[in-house]
Amino acid sequence: MVRLMVRDPWRDFGTLQDRINKMFDQTVRTLYPETEEELERGAWSPAVDIHENNDSFVVKADLPAVNKDDIQIDLKDNTLTLKGEKKFENKVSKDNYIRVERSYGTFVRSFTLPQNVDAEKIKATYKDGVLELTLPKKEEAKPKQIKVEVS
């Protein structure tokens, strides 16, 4: 039995159009940011994951090839700000590059913290290009289980 396949020549065009739209949106947002976070971010912005467990919030930021000394973490008015710079490697002359796709430059990311974060106990570690911040919850904010006794 021979199957007849119908090809849609416009199928891949939609994907290409989506890519062009995304690239255009990113360029426009860099030049004309809409939000304060976008204004502060600049051209390069590290990817960030945030998750919560019973005791804390955990923030992980990908900062490959960023020197630990080039990372600054600030906390002011319940806003956590990550700042830093990924410097361009000057080991090779710029004239010898054929293609440069990795992003370089300064970055700023800011996050408003929940009220239940214990700011005095925040810890930061940096390993293998990943910055990990542990933001412990205040004692009164942790969920507590109450035993029910039978009388």
* CB-CB contact of 36 with 111 (8 Å): no
Q: How many residues does the chain have?
A: 151
What pLDDT was estimated at residue 9?
A: 61
72-114 pLDDT per residue, tens: 999 888 899 999 988 877 777 767 777 777 778 888 999 998 8
Asked if residue 24 belongs to a domain, the reply is yes
Q: Give pTM, 2 decimals.
A: 0.63
Q: Per the structure, how many domains does the chain have?
A: 2
* Residues 67, 101 within the same domain: yes
The domain in which residue 123 lies consists of: 42-141
Joined together, the tokens standing for residue 114 give: 């929940």
Asked if 71 and 29 sit in the same domain, the reply is no
Give the Cα separation of 41 and 29 in Å (integer).
Answer: 10
Q: Across residues 125-131, what is the average pLDDT?
A: 95
89 & 124 share domain: yes
